[in-house]
Amino acid sequence: MGHPDGWVGQLAVLGAPLELQVHLIEHPDARGSDRISEALQPPIGLARNLPITIIEAAHYIPNDVIPTMYTPDFVYEFTWAAGQIPSGHNAQLFQCKTPTMQPQISPVREYFITLQDAIVDALESLSGAGQFQSSDLPGPDGTLSRPRVLEDGEHIEKAAVQFTHSRGASLPDAATQRNPHLAGLGFQATAISLIVHPRNPYVPTTHANLRFFLVEADDPFWYFGGGFDMTPYYGFEEDARHWHEQALAATGDHYAKLKTACDDYFYLAHRNECRGVGGIFFDDWQEGGFDESFALTRRVGDHFLPAYRPIFERRVSAPYGERERDWQLYRRGRYAEFNLAIDRGTKYGLQSGRRVESVLASLPPMATWKYDYQPEPGTPEARLYTDFLPPRDWIPSA
C-alpha cells in the first residue's frame, strides 16, 4: 500500500544492535531509477528512537517476490518524510514473512565479533590506564582467532576477551562425551569467552562464554551453549541480586533452570564448594529451534555488561590493604583449580589444538595456596563461605 507522505518500508534488526538491513519494495512504475539510494537517510519517527545505519538496500524487488535470505529478530515500521524521497518515487509496505532460519554459522560468528569489540571497549574504559593487546590470526578455510588480552591495567590486573572460529575433521572428546554419536564427524565451532581479574579485591572476578557448534552431517547437528558467572572475594547482597536480576532479564522463563545448571557446573567437588555466586549456564541448547536459541544467546551476551559494569564501578574505589589482597590471591587459587581440573572449555581448547596461549589466558596473573587455611569465624572472609558460596535464591520470586 502506498503512503501519501513519503516512503514506507521496514527495518529489520539483524544480530547485534545497530546492525541494520533495509528491504524496500517499489511500485512498478518507479523501476529503473538509479536515485533511490539518495533517499536512504536516517528516518524520522523510528520506534524506540534507535539510530540507523544502512547496511544494504534491496532495490526494485517485484511485489510477488519474498526475500528468504534472512529472518529478522525485530521489525520496525518507518516512514521518510515527504521531500526526502526523489520526486515520483513511492513504495509499498512489505510485511516480512520469511521461513525459519536454517542453522548457519555466519550470523553467529558476526554477532560474537561485534560483542567482543563492545566488551573490549567497555573494559578498557573501566580499566583506566591499560589497553588490550589485539591480533587477528586467520586460519585455513576462513577460520579466525581474535585474541584480546589486557595486562597490568590500573583497575584490571588481567582480562582476556577471546573470539574463535574453527573447523575440524572430527570433534574432540570434550565435545562428544555427552553426544557420542557425533564422534568422527566434521564440525565448525565459533565462540567468545572472557575473564576479568580486577585489581581491587572488592571487585569480583567474572567470566562469560558463548559458543555454537555445527556438525557437518547429512542431517546437520547444532547446539548453543554459554552463560555468565561471578566470583566475588567479598560478598555484597546488592551485587549478587543485581547480577541475578540481569540474568533473569536475559533468560526469562529459563532462568531457574539455567541458574541451577550454573550452580551445578561451577562446583569444585574436591573442595565441596561453589566457585562463586553463580549466574546462568546452558549447554547443548536447541530449544525452540535455531532462531529462538540464537535469540537467547544474544540476550545473554547483551546483558553481560549491564550485569557487571555497575558492580565494577560501585566497588573499584573501595580502600583495601594487604589482608584483602592476600585473601584475593588465595581465592584466585580456587579459580585456577577449576579451570585446570574441571572446566570442559579448557579441555576442549587443549584437545582441539587451539592456540595454548589463548586457551590459558583465563588464568589469573597471580594466585597463592595456603595449607589448610580457614578464615576466622565472623570475618568478612568467613561470610563468603557461609552466606555467598552456598547456592541460594537471590531472586526468590523468579
Answer yes or no: do 59 and 111 share one domain: no
197 and 128 fall within a common domain: yes
Residue 100 has pLDDT above 80, yes or no: no
pLDDT in tens, 208-236: 999 999 987 777 889 999 999 999 999 99
CA–chain centroid gap for 337, Å, is 24
- pLDDT the model gives residue 337: 93
- Long-range contacts of 48-51, Cβ-Cβ distance < 8 Å, separation of 24 or more: 48/76, 50/13, 50/17, 50/18, 50/76, 51/18
Is residue 305 assigned to a domain? yes
pLDDT at 95: 31
How far apart CA 194 and CA 109 sit, in angstroms, is 16
SS3 272: coil
Q: What is the mean pLDDT of residues 50-70?
A: 33
pLDDT at 359 over 50: yes
226 close to 209: Cβ distance less than 8 angstroms: yes
Q: What's the structural domain count of the chain?
A: 2
**Other C-beta atoms within 10 Å of 182: how many?**
16
The pLDDT value recorded for residue 286 is: 95
pLDDT at 301: 97
If asked whether residues 326 and 182 sit together in one domain, one would say yes
Give the tens place of pLDDT for each residue, 293-343. Answer: 999 999 999 999 999 999 999 999 999 999 999 999 999 999 999 889 887
| CATH (domain of 377) | 3.40.1500.10
Residue of higher predicted confidence among 254 and 92: 254
State what percent of residues in the chain have pLDDT above 90: 58
- 98 in a domain, yes or no? no
Same domain? For 72 and 204 the reply is: no
58 neighbors 23 (Cβ within 8 angstroms):
yes
Q: Confidence band (pLDDT; 50, 70, 90) for 360?
A: confident
Query: By residue range, what is the domain housing residue 373?
Result: 106-388
- Among the residue ranges 84-88, 254-258, 330-334, 375-379, the one predicted with the least confidence is 84-88
- The rounded distance, in Å, linking the Cα atoms of 386 and 223 is 36
Do 80 and 179 sit in the same domain of this protein?
A: no
Catalytic residue list contains 207: yes
Q: Within a domain: residue 348?
A: yes
In a domain, 395, yes or no: no
Residue 29 pLDDT exceeds 50? no
Residue 76 has pLDDT above 80, yes or no: no
What pLDDT is stored for residue 185 in this prediction?
79
Buried b (16+ CB within 10 A) or exposed e, 220-256: ebbbbbbbbbbbbbbbbeebbebbbbbbbebbeebbe
Active-site residue, selected from the candidate residues 207, 242, 254, 303: 207
pTM for this structure? 0.72
- 326 shares a domain with 180: yes
Average pLDDT, the chain: 77
Are 262 and 115 contained in the same domain?
Answer: yes
Report which of residues 281 and 55 the model is more confident about. Answer: 281
pLDDT attached to residue 176 = 62
User: Would you say residue 96 has pLDDT above 60?
Assistant: no
